[in-house]
Amino acid sequence: MARTFPLIAILALAGCDTPQSQGTKDAVARLEIRVIDLEAKVTELQAQRARDAKYTEAIAASLDEARANHDSLRKVVNGNAELDNKEALAEATARGRCGQEVVHYPDGGIANRNRECTWKLLGK
């Protein structure tokens, strides 16, 4: 009987599909389908990531352009405000709003002239 046991095992393994081996084949087939589905999902996610990267780059470029435009506009506005302030101070000086001052000339002459206005003198 000891010699027949390996023979029975070999015949059993070589025989028709058993329910267990058919179940194993089905499980392997399901796993193969799942692997194919996951590979497709990975490919889809990689393509989506590439699209998102392009979109992000476009947004970054647009943001850089907006910052440059903002800085340029800020410089123009600040320059205009500076000119307006200088003009306002020059006008206040011409009107004598900051008072008079005595000027001594090198040749010994003396004269009164309007004091140059500053924002501090105007109290603003």
Q: How far is the C-alpha of 30 from the C-alpha of 16, rounded, in Å?
A: 22
Phi first, then psi: give them for residue 112, nearest 5 degrees. -100, 140
pLDDT for 1 equals: 47
Low-confidence residues in the chain, pLDDT < 50: 1
- 0.75 exceeded by pTM: no
Cβ neighbors of 97 (< 8 A, separation 6 or more) are 117, 122
Q: Return the pLDDT at 45.
A: 97
pLDDT of residue 42: 96
What is the dihedral sign for C-alpha 70, 73, 78, 81? negative
